[in-house]
């Protein structure tokens, strides 16, 4: 193996390792955050018709319980992914005035709401902090 082949091999290994690190620590957290964000938005749309949170007998409806569980899960995932995102991406989100931490708090409030009138401000907060206009 001559010097040119060795340098080519070394450069290939360094480029592969660099690409792996960029994808693992830069792109995957961003993609995971966006996946969670779009899941929250999809859940808000899907459960928008669950305005009657209780059955006639006073028990919570099944879709209400699913909505509550989904909101709690997404809130915890938003909190968990918050520090994993790269700093430039966090700065970009701040420039857009997108605040996942406040959205997470709104999701917890939304999941704890027992009446739709109580849930409405939390839903508005989540939409506002994730920059969802629908």
Strand partners, 116: none
User: Any idea what DSSP says for residue 54?
Assistant: B
Q: What is the pLDDT of residue 37?
A: 92
100 vs 103: CA distance, rounded Å: 5
Q: What is the pLDDT of residue 44?
A: 83
pTM for this model (two decimals): 0.78
Q: What is the pLDDT of residue 79?
A: 87
Instruction: Dump pLDDT digits (tens) for 2-37.
Output: 899 999 999 999 999 999 999 998 899 999 999 999
Instruction: Dump pLDDT digits (tens) for 37-65.
Output: 999 988 888 777 655 555 555 566 667 77
Residue 113: phi, psi to the nearest 5? -75, 135
129 vs 83: CA distance, rounded Å: 17
Instruction: Dump pLDDT digits (tens) for 78-128.
Output: 988 888 888 999 999 999 999 999 999 999 998 888 777 888 899 899 999
**Three-state secondary structure call for residue 118:** helix
Q: What is the pLDDT of residue 33?
A: 93
Q: What is the pLDDT of residue 20?
A: 95
What is the CB-side half-sphere exposure of residue 23 using CA atoms within 13 A? 6
- Dmax (CA) of the chain: 83
46 vs 34: CA distance, rounded Å: 18
Q: What is the pLDDT of residue 72?
A: 92
């Amino acid at each position: 193996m001559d010097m040119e082949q060795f340098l080519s091999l070394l450069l290939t290994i360094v480029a592969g390792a660099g690409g792996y690190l960029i994808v693992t620590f830069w792109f995957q957290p961003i993609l995971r955050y966006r996946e969670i964000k779009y899941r929250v938005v999809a859940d808000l749309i899907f459960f928008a018709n669950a305005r009657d949170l209780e059955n006639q007998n006073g028990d919570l409806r099944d879709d209400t319980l699913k909505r509550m569980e989904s909101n709690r899960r997404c809130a915890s995932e938003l909190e968990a992914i918050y520090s994993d995102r790269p700093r430039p991406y966090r700065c970009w989100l701040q420039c857009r005035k997108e605040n996942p931490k406040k959205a997470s708090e709104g999701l917890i409030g939304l999941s704890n709401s027992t009446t739709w009138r109580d849930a409405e401000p939390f839903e508005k907060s989540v939409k506002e902090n994730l920059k969802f206009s629908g």
